[in-house]
């Protein structure tokens, strides 16, 4: 009797474990992008009263000189980024049911957005997300910043050294055809990867070729460098490496 009771308890436990495992297994298919679609937490991604605003710049337009010139910073931030914010808000006026959603939620599933505003939210929501990250990951005190031990170990494991990573990242950024971005992402298996997106797409979007959580990105639209570097994108990329705030990148890497 006791054996029978033990057996049925064991059978119950085994069945329960198998059921839990199969639910977890099924969920891994049902929500394959749940982790990959998470994003750095930036307060400005939560629109006040349903309206997005240009985030505050933490430094002056000339603070990244000589690598990024003041005029480029001013136009890039106050004109280009502002235009993405304005046009995103205009698109949301046409789809008020979407107002109030945080930006990552809004742009995560482009294919599920109403067709009338899909492209506008993809382009301008992507533009707002990408540029908000971009200002944060650069800093006038970049030279004093350092990758965390955890991030450095992950970079070394994947690319053998920080210098090799920078070479590969620069190569990807230089070969983006036309306008777009190059990214360092954390994929759904928690591995680092370098990827690129066209236009204002982002790796958290369901339209991205490789999805993941971006922790570093470089804008390679000509508006990001043309005034100082003209057509020499490679020189701009080399300059950009000097203004990466590795403390910020490490912070995003640590947000799991």
Given the rule CB under 5 A, which residues bind Fe ion? 219, 221, 224
Select from 158, 223, 221 the least CA-distant residue to 192: 158
CB 24 to Fe ion: min, Å: 40
Q: Which is nearer to Fe ion, 45 or 134 (CB)?
A: 134
CB 47 to Fe ion: min, Å: 20
CB 256 to Fe ion: min, Å: 28
Select from 189, 232, 247 the least CA-distant residue to 213: 189
The neighbouring-strand residues paired with 219 are: 181
The neighbouring-strand residues paired with 214 are: 185
Here the tokens at position 75 are 């136009």
Q: Which is nearer to Fe ion, 77 or 159 (CB)?
A: 77
- Rounded to whole angstroms, how far apart are CA atoms 127 and 86? 11
CB 134 to Fe ion: min, Å: 7
- Rounded to whole angstroms, how far apart are CA atoms 204 and 122? 11
Of all residues in the shown chain, the one whose CB is closest to Fe ion is 219
CB 80 to Fe ion: min, Å: 5
Q: Which is nearer to Fe ion, 201 or 219 (CB)?
A: 219
Q: Which is nearer to Fe ion, 200 or 248 (CB)?
A: 200
- Rounded to whole angstroms, how far apart are CA atoms 35 and 44? 21
Q: Which is nearer to Fe ion, 180 or 212 (CB)?
A: 180
Q: From the CB of residue 2, how many other CB atoms can be counted at a distance below 10 Å?
A: 6
Write the CA distances from 81 to 55, 76, 131, 252, integer angstroms.
Answer: 9, 6, 7, 22
Residue 5: exposure state from Cβ atoms within 10 A (0-12, 13-18, ≥19): exposed
CB 76 to Fe ion: min, Å: 6
Q: Which is nearer to Fe ion, 205 or 224 (CB)?
A: 224
The neighbouring-strand residues paired with 197 are: 181
CB 162 to Fe ion: min, Å: 25
Contact 130, 122 (CB under 8 A): no
């Amino acid at each position: 009797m006791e054996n029978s009771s033990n057996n049925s308890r064991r059978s119950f436990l085994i069945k329960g474990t198998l059921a839990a495992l199969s639910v977890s297994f099924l969920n891994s298919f049902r929500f394959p992008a749940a982790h990959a679609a998470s994003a750095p937490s930036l307060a400005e991604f939560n629109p006040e009263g349903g309206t997005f605003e240009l985030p505050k710049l933490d430094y002056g337009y000339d603070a990244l000189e000589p690598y990024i010139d003041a005029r480029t910073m001013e136009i890039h931030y106050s004109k280009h980024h502002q235009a993405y914010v304005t046009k995103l808000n205009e698109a949301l006026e046409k789809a008020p049911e979407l107002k109030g959603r945080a930006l990552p939620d809004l742009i995560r599933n482009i294919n599920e957005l109403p067709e009338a505003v899909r492209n506008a939210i993809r382009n301008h929501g992507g533009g707002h997300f990408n540029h908000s990250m971009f200002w944060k990951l650069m800093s006038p005190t970049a030279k004093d910043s350092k990758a965390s031990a955890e991030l450095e170990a992950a970079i070394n494991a994947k690319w053998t050294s920080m210098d090799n990573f920078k070479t590969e990242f620069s190569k990807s950024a230089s070969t983006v055809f036309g306008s777009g971005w190059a990214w360092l992402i954390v994929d759904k298996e928690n591995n680092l990867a370098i990827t690129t997106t066209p236009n204002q797409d982002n790796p958290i979007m369901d339209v991205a070729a490789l999805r993941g959580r971006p922790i570093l990105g470089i804008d390679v639209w000509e508006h990001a460098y043309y005034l100082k570097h003209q057509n020499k994108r490679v020189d701009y990329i080399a300059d950009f490496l000097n203004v990466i705030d590795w403390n910020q990148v490490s912070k995003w890497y640590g947000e799991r």
